Structure 1
């Protein structure tokens, strides 16, 4: 089952990005802004850790987006647009964690929450605004949740499309069916809201999803039934494991300042340890040097595309054989859309940067 969690985590484009953002980054140099903010938000015992993680993510996305275009990319304009998606993903990742931590003090308008303006200052200290800005969503928390789910789906349905003609290669069917069912519920809400008016922020994303790519269509093509649906399989904690951490509210803080916070609900905290440590941050130059290592096509297909699930299945089936290529047709190897193949390349380059930054 753990393997199936990894399959879903790595095959959906935005999920693979969020998984990278979730990784802890231990910094040697003192982050002055995070030190200052952690004293202001002492009610969250892992605030400093999260602040450093966010700061590292902003810097790494900025470095990745400022990388010169590569000659073999289809076009510079297309690569630039693809890189901008990484900035969008970072913003969605940040807001999602803040909302799930119940940090926003204004659920009807996230933009009016103090924490957003606090992190806006942190963003400014990274000097990254030229490449990637903090998005300011004038939206309530419920609508943001709908918008993010539709956004994730809009960036990931190309991966699911691959299996519609390769159902024999589909592993972990229950995970995919559960994910599709989850998105379908939100899609139907958006369908109802956006049919009468277009004032919801997620309506643009909804309108851009082709009718033959809607969740219910994949549910049908995958031959899913409600028996295949297990809602707990698509919880963040299940998909991302211990790497996924919300801001943890310190209950001792609540009791010590009860006179000031009486009448307010304490944010719900996950019972997770924050003691997990990762290697120290290193020079970005190492990461940029290693980008050239990301062009090995077989490894990329194996690790970062839906085709990798098919390869893993064949490896297990043909354990001990010298080669698995005889069991695969060219259609199996190259059936992935060019757009999704390029997503895999970009993801690998991005992960190489992060791994290099985390080495001591």
Structure 2
């Protein structure tokens, strides 16, 4: 037997909580223990030997039980004086028995013997239990007994205990977890042992659960105890970790951070809600004894505050119609919502237990029944109560108030010079983070209404795009991503100053080799007016945020040797987050830009000398992070090559990609002048060289089907994009320095697709070309030889031929005149005999009987024709 299980005997629990010694269960247990410890002088070995019991420990245990039963029967102890009713005596006796079985660690066979023995002593047990509830013992194993004992401890000892008792239990997490486990086992048993299910454990559990229903019905809300027990280890704080204000006197109407922002921009009065909350605060109420006479629950911590609040609500509801009529154009339903959320704020700021909240709504429910007969036209009821705790109430109100003011906040975000824009964005992010928390904690549907309101407001991509544009780097676009438990999966709060200290500046760092410097002799062809420049400027923009990208943290130690790799990682994470919110063509285009951009930027990192990332610790760690981000963001169509990286080749691919993206813009620029035109011509000449180098590899052309693009993410085979077209459009021939240098790069010679296919087959799979010829030769000769030479085939053909002949003969005989011919041949022989007989008969002049034939049957002679 585990030591842990022995630590929860009734004696251990009583030593932990003194109140247990006053319970009927404890007194009953102690009296049984007195008899149990009395060894007595009875030699009962012979009595148990017929049961097949040989274990001396089991025999000793049975002797003690027999002593107890006889003591009860002889009224050596009077259990009637210990308990108020006999209804619980069987449970108390079983509790004592289970406690002893756990202490002794008896096995299933031993427990079966003990159960059979007790069931045989029904006459003893009936004296201590209610006559209409016999005490039956089931054949359980030790684990079942432990679970039932755990359930008994929770329901019999702590269910009706005063709330101060829980404060004692809270001091020892071991005992608290034991009681919480008892609650979980009880709930699980309700599911495991549905009515009709038959086994020893369920028989015992259902018998006990039916008895428990007697006291469950006395409670207005059983769930408050369950919630209270479940929350004891969790100090109830706001989502920001602020301590509760438990005095119940707070009269704030809105979340303080939101109120300051709204007040500063003078938009707090844009809706009725704040004014409405203030008006509700003016109603007072002092409860009388009659106000809360229904509340007898010992688990209430803030009974006075709850009763006072309910009295205030009563006063408000009595004058509800007049109160609502003061607010023009306020829908009665909205008014009821405002009242509900005002109440959430009041109760949420109390240091109350779940039972305090449940009892407030119990009072309101009773009031609503009475109020249904009232003359008030508009009525407000607590239809949306699902058993909240204080944290849930605060969160619900905070989200609701924000949604009411969102349109006003949105209009302020449009103002370019608004000083509060950053603060508004921070608060919006806070609410979005709160939404994610509420979504993941909505098991009991406590946040159902607020989640629906939030989704209705922000589910359209248009709304999220607007917020992403005005509040960048806030992860707002991830709010509905079901795979992410948090809003920003790559961030954690930290000191921005600390991050900057970790990531040292690298201006004076000397590198052994800096790939990318090979292009320093080339011109900078990144024209600021072209589309590609705009995108790259955005991709390469600094990450402006007060959050630290923790996912890139592993690169900080490598930043000394490979200066800039950490910053590049944070930029890439930012860019991939934006990519995940894009759709269709926009997403594909941005992915192409990111791929070309990242290789170009990596080539600038000092000391990146390997062309294989697995030979470079920095690159290996960098791309591991990249693919981790792609997986978390569920990006499955934008990947990076990590093997045999050739930075020079990637640069050329980037130049070509950008050229095709910029082509239409350059072409539509029209005639250019002077140095600007000269610069464009120089760029086209530079691209033409790379274009000619890649065109044969990237394009595969056919005579009738155009050209196939082998690498569409950076090269277009359409001849309209040929640099020669731009060269002519820009009139670059007017510049003498370009006139002789430009050489047009033509597309590959088109090939006949069918001929090319045959050539491929003849080279790689030549046997396919001879397949038809081989088939034609096999059919008349080879196949024929095989059939005729095989004895089985010869026998089969002969047999089927013979059967066929028989079948044909049968058909001819049965269904054609030939069959009639053979039949008539025999008939003619018979007819010659009958003709001779007839002549003979006539010659003797035989007279016929001419009697009346009307009453006789007519007999018609028949013979085959």
User: What TM-score, normalized by structure 2, do the two folds share?
Assistant: 0.21
User: What TM-score, normalized by structure 1, do the two folds share?
Assistant: 0.47
Larger Rg: 2
